[in-house]
Amino acid sequence: MTRRTRLIAALDTQSRDQAEAWVSAFGSDVDAIKLGLEFTYSCGFDAVKTVSAGRTLFLDLKLHDIPNTVAHGLKSLAHVQPALTTIHAAGGTEMISRAKEALQEAFPDALRRPKLLAVTVLTSMDAAGLSEIGVSASPQEQVLRLGKLAIRAGADGLVCSAKEIAPLRDALGDAPELVVPGIRPAGSASDDQKRIMTPTEAAQAGADWIVVGRPITRAANPVHAARAIMEELATA
């Protein structure tokens, strides 16, 4: 199956002005924007709505709580209208299925319903980090375990690193939306990311979306950095 891998720019900032400036500078140089907990906690939901108006929004709040709390939290997203939103797969089957039901109730029109993405193992974790929290499985084994559980429970897609795309596709097929952070163009700093790959590698492995933050937002020219990644994706 041929898929076009699309670029999500992660606008991790506490400044509404900065986020607005990036969004207007990018134009069509990115396919979607991501606003996460840094922006939402600092600037609030009204700012999320204003900054994302007219754009495809990935609202990344990574909910992880008891099923009832997660379900009610998601129901209140009806006024924001993201295209994608996140919960942690480690919340388990009941949390994920209640999350899905909540989105179905809050967005009765399936075409306007946000896709529910389950975060598997954060791309900032490696085997040592997993072992520290009592998980003896490798990152790949743990991503597969959580990914299968999440899709069975009703998630529409998964957040994983590019290293796990091939085994996830083998296990789950083409349908789940795979959203891939931990992306670093060749030669850029890895920062706090541990499981990283380049845009080309992620596209060739079959990512639906890549999520890129600092390599764009901290570049001397964020628009040029975004454009270079789009060009890399187009020729991958």
Ligand X SMILES: O=C(O)c1cc(=O)[nH]c(=O)n1[C@@H]1O[C@H](COP(=O)(O)O)[C@@H](O)[C@H]1O
Choose the catalytic residue: 49, 62, 75, 148: 62
The nearer residue to ligand X, 113 or 214, going by C-beta atoms, is 214
* 196 contacts ligand X (rule: CB under 6 A): no
Q: Pick one of 65, 101, 126, 191: the residue that binds ligand X (CB under 6 A).
A: 191
150 lies in the binding site for ligand X (CB under 6 A): no
Which of 55, 81, 214, 228: binder of ligand X (CB under 6 A)?
214
C-alpha–C-alpha distance, residues 114 and 61, integer Å:
13
| Residue 181 binding ligand X, by CB under 6 A | yes
DSSP reduced 3-state for 118: strand
**212 in contact with ligand X (CB under 6 A):** yes
Residue 62 annotated as lining a ligand binding site: yes
Is residue 126 marked as binding? no
Active-site residue, 62 included: yes
Q: Please identify, using beta-carbon distances, which residue of 182 and 206 lies nearer to ligand X.
A: 182
Q: Does 123 bind ligand X (CB under 6 A)?
A: yes
In the complex, the smallest distance separating the C-beta of residue 13 from ligand X, rounded to whole angstroms, is: 10
Number of other residues whose CB lies within 10 A of the CB of residue 16: 17
Which window, 15-23, 87-95, 136-144, 213-221, contacts ligand X (CB under 6 A)?
213-221
Integer Rg of the chain from CA: 17
Number of residues this chain uses to bind ligand X (CB under 6 A): 19
- 87 binding ligand X? (CB under 6 A): no
Tokens read off for 93: 């089957």
Please give the residue ranges that form the binding site for ligand X (CB under 6 A). Answer: 10, 12, 36, 60, 62, 86, 119, 122-123, 159, 181-182, 191, 193, 211-215
